[in-house]
Amino acid sequence: LAPSPRLSASQCRLPPTRYAAQPAPSPREIAAPLLPAPSATRRPPAPSNRAPSRPHLAPRRSVAPTFLDASRRPFPRGIRVPRAPFAVRGIREAARGTTVRGARTMAAAAPPLCAWLVAAGAHADFGADEHRQTQCLDAGSGATFGLDRRPLGVRRRGSARSGMAVSVALQPERVIVEKKRPDVKQRRVVVTGMGVVTPLGHDPDVFYNNLLDGHSGISEIETFDCSKFPTRIAGEIKSFSTEGWVVPKLSKRMDKFMLYLITAGKKALENGGLTEEVRNDLDKTRCGVLIGSAMGGMKVFNDAIEALRVSYRKMNPFCVPFATTNMGSAILAMDLGWMGPNYSISTACATSNFCILNAANHIRRGEADVMLCGGSDAPLIPIGLGGFVACRALSQRNSDPTKASRPWDMDRDGFVMGEGAGVLVLEELEHAKQRGATIYAEFLGGSFTCDAYHMTEPHPEGTGITLCIEKALADSGVAREEINYVNAHATSTQSGDLKEYEAIVRCFGQNPQLRVNSTKSMTGHLIGAAGGIEAVACIQVRSSCLL
């Protein structure tokens, strides 16, 4: 609830639940202290043919009147009373549905029960954390609790004239029983499965051992002829098969990002011991898929454009759905029969991290028990390579591809594109224990921030990175001194690497035990899948106890 400029913050506090049983007074009882004394010479009211109004069903009880300013809101005709600094539409209109501004002003003048109901409604609609119920919501968001089709300022029949002050009875018509929400901090989230498709291997252990041995997955591009491009290298997947993971009929139609996604997702389930027999015993309404993609089905869409040059009849009828970023998660969920949260997030290089954190939050809030999450991308096609070349973002060290991606090196000249997918199985701790799952790590927290500075360049002072790290530490309840390894984003660009390094030093400069590296030096930059495979690398480091 956003406070009025003339309302102190203390007046926005939610009342105790004892107000829930308070009986509602009648309008006449509220206005009784303000009515003029009856006069013996006063003429009796004229007889009326109108039916008597329906009496209020709640028990009557006298309370102090509430004074409202009706200068900006239409009200039924009432009795002149002194002005007060609040204005509302009326409790009945606001209860049926009105704008957030109407809800805000209603709560400012409503009895404690009504204020609590509005706050609870705002809490449920905006998904605020449990401990933030007593904080204020921005009334300028434009969200609505319902529809009020009458424009503001339009008078209804019997409404007060502008400037007339009235007394209005604020009465809840029915009592709503509070439903306790589960404490999100009581539900712990653990990692019970991992799946990868990368230039360094398609198994978590093979992938991690190649990282330890310093092998590079970057080589010359073989998928298409790129001799006319200044950059001819990438972290390309040379050998990949969907046999046993994807139905052959769909495998021929799908974009590669979907094939990588589905394969990595099913490998994560297998790695986590979630076989078909085990999955049949799960509550599928509490299992979800949240695997994103930054680029989506670029190959399918590009092929459709080429076919359209001949005729629309030559186009793949699945080109539109298979090009969307959410279709990979949707197909995987349909294959598994999982009916829980299912969508995708596309936030460029941060796609996987966004998906992992949102999936964990679904479990923490009690909305799911098992979530597949991560990212997938397959941008290695002419239009993808050409687009990044046009941005002058790629390395042109074609003569030495294994050393082209060199984060923090003085001679770095841009990042190297890659492709693949990384998927985690997140599970509620008790749920994982009950089925005897292997727990690789525990997810403690994370954060979202934005530099709000430039499309590709980081903020000169690295404020967005620093803020994100600090908020992630606060959300997880971990001290800076407890962090001993950071898998940095460092993509081998001139400005990005430097600003990230400065932010890490600013946050962890007093921690001598900290180790920092960037696995992109061996995999290249997998765009939307980067965070997914790097999360697997972090978990493998933790599991192998190398730190």
> pLDDT tens digits for the chain (547 residues)?
343 344 343 443 333 333 344 455 555 555 555 555 554 455 555 555 555 544 444 444 444 444 334 444 444 444 444 444 333 343 344 334 433 334 333 333 333 333 333 333 333 333 334 443 333 434 333 333 233 334 434 444 444 444 554 444 445 555 555 555 555 457 999 999 999 999 999 999 999 999 999 999 999 999 999 999 999 999 999 999 999 999 888 888 899 999 999 999 999 999 999 999 999 999 999 999 999 999 999 999 999 999 999 999 999 888 999 999 999 999 999 999 999 999 999 999 999 999 999 999 999 999 999 999 999 999 999 999 999 999 999 999 999 999 999 999 999 999 999 999 999 999 999 999 999 999 999 999 999 999 899 888 888 888 899 999 999 999 999 999 999 999 999 999 998 999 999 999 999 988 888 999 999 999 999 999 999 999 999 999 987 765 4
Choice among 123, 202, 431, 525 that is catalytic: 525
d(CA 371, CA 466): 29
123, 202, 431, 489: the active-site residue: 489
Residue spans of the domains in the chain: they are: 189-445+528-545
Q: 322, 253 in Cβ contact below 8 A?
A: yes
Strands 420-428 and 166-167, bridge-based pairing = unpaired
Q: Are 489 and 351 in contact (CB under 8 A)?
A: no
Cα separation values, 347 from 352, 375, 386, Å: 8, 10, 20
Q: Active site includes 56?
A: no
Pick from 471, 458, 463, 451: nearest CA to 503: 463
CB-CB contact of 376 with 326 (8 Å): no
Rounded Cα distance, 396 and 388, in Å:
12
362 noted as active-site residue: no
Fold for domain 189-445+528-545?
Peroxisomal Thiolase; Chain A, domain 1 (3.40.47)
Side-chain-side CA neighbours of 261 within 13 Å: the count stands at 36
The answer to whether 355 and 375 have CB atoms below 8 angstroms apart is yes
HEC readout, 232-269: CEEECCCCCCCCCCCCHHHHHHCCHHHHHHHHHHHHHH
What is the C-alpha to C-alpha distance for residues 191 and 189, in angstroms, rounded to an integer? 7
> From CA 472, how far away is CA 465, in angstroms rounded?
11
Pairing of strands 515-517, 485-487: parallel
Tell me whether residue 226 is one of the annotated catalytic residues: no
- Candidates 349, 355, 373, 468; catalytic one: 349
